[in-house]
Structure 1
Amino acid sequence: MRFSPPVELRTSRLLLRAWQPSDREPFAELNADREVTAHLPAPLDRSASDALADRIRATIEDQGWGWWALESVSTGAFLGFTGLSWTTFDASFTPAVEVGWRLARPAWGHGYATEAATAAVGFGFGALGLREIVSFTVAGNLRSRAVMERLGMTHDPREDFDHPRLPVGHPLRRHVLYRLARGPRSRPTGRY
């Protein structure tokens, strides 16, 4: 389903919105932060970060939703991204729509990832009519796993998988999969 103009979601503290040119600099800073990228294959240099921002922006322009830029309502500060994305690599659960996030370190510990992801999930189940949303990460990413659990997602260790985009033997190849089915707890939140 396509939305034009692109969808914006609001919570009491956050705005999930289309990307702006001014987002590139703080996005590059968070992608270069080794703590933020500890559970990713590597930090991104400015060129790779800008290319990722361009792909994310293009997806939102094309379909009206995706990895939205996350902004503080009170300060206007760019906090990172949160949203939904089609996952199409070859795995037992794909194709699927994933909820995900990446926040700058100063935004950690305030509940922003859970708040924004709740709005994104509500949009996915409401406006998109999805029956299920997944999320995945490396087993050791306890912060993200805690967000998945706060969203009400469930994990079955039998569904853990080796990420096909990482080479055999890579220390981050093994991933845990979480699922959330549409149901009474998954009512839409946010405005769109």
Structure 2
Amino acid sequence: METERLIMRRWRRADREPFAALNADLEVMEHFPAPLGREQSDALVDRIEAGFDEHGYGLWALELRATGEFIGFTGLAWQTFEAPFTPALEIGWRLARPAWGYGYAREAAAAALAQGFGVTDQPEIVSLTAVGNLRSRAVMERLGMVRDPADDFDHPRVPEGSPLRAHVLYRIGRDAWRTASAAS
């Protein structure tokens, strides 16, 4: 898929090194329990690619159209951990710090939402993050996603006692997405 400034594509071997650097960046991984080592990062790419093989969509590698530079990922993934809202199709993103502040996450996420609603029969797509991740929450809101504080939850994959365990959940239904995408 392509947007005005981005190419959203399957992963390449050459993406693994810059992705590992992104996953080792303490600021990028601030809202995750820990940064990822190279082996963990590569295993994540393998899981992402397996998701593409299973579903036909997933977390697309992002590159800048102008330069071909890899800047992270944006896309769709199924969340199946135990929570009142799962299983759920989630939209997510992770970008390298030099790519922050340019609207790339929102641009790619809007394309991923269109793909998600176009190829699935899901009535809604969710996004979730640690309570303190204000940057990602702002992207969710710019996409037209809505938070109901009653949906907030403690993420079961984050250790008890961690300040990152408390999560917020944002949702967008198919009709709300149509309205939001028509307005942008």
Normalising by structure 2, we get a TM-score of: 0.94
Which amino acid in the other structure matches residue 154 of structure 1?
V
SS in 1 for 2:22: helix
SS in 1 for 2:62: strand
Q: Point out where structure 2 has 5 or more consecutive residues left out of the alignment.
A: none
SS in 2 for 1:101: strand
- 2:21 paired residue number: 29
1:174 pairs with 2:166: yes
- 1:43 paired residue number: 35
Q: 1:74-153, aligned counterparts within 5 Å?
A: 74-153=66-145
**RMSD value, Cα:** 1.5
Identity, in percent, stands at 63
Which amino acid in the other structure matches residue 113 of structure 1?
A
CA contact (8 A) 1:135 1:178 kept: yes
- 1:13 paired residue number: 5
Normalising by structure 1, we get a TM-score of: 0.90
Cα shift readout 1:108-166 (whole Å, capped 9, x = no counterpart): 00000000000000111122232100000011100000000000000011110000112
CA contact (8 A) 2:75 2:92 kept: yes
| The 10-residue stretch of structure 1 (70-79 or 56-65) with the greater mean CA deviation from structure 2 | 56-65
Q: 1:61-76, aligned counterparts within 5 Å?
A: 61-76=53-68
Q: Report the alpha carbon displacement of residue 171 of structure 1 after superposing the two structures with TM.
A: 1.5
CA contact (8 A) 1:125 1:186 kept: no
Q: Report the alpha carbon displacement of residue 184 of structure 1 after superposing the two structures with TM.
A: 5.7
Partner Cα separation in structure 2 for residue 155 and residue 113 of structure 1: 19
Structure with bigger helix share is 2
Aligned length: 181
Q: Report the alpha carbon displacement of residue 41 of structure 1 after superposing the two structures with TM.
A: 0.5
SS in 2 for 1:102: strand
If asked which structure has higher relative contact order (CA below 8 Å, sep 6+), I would say 1
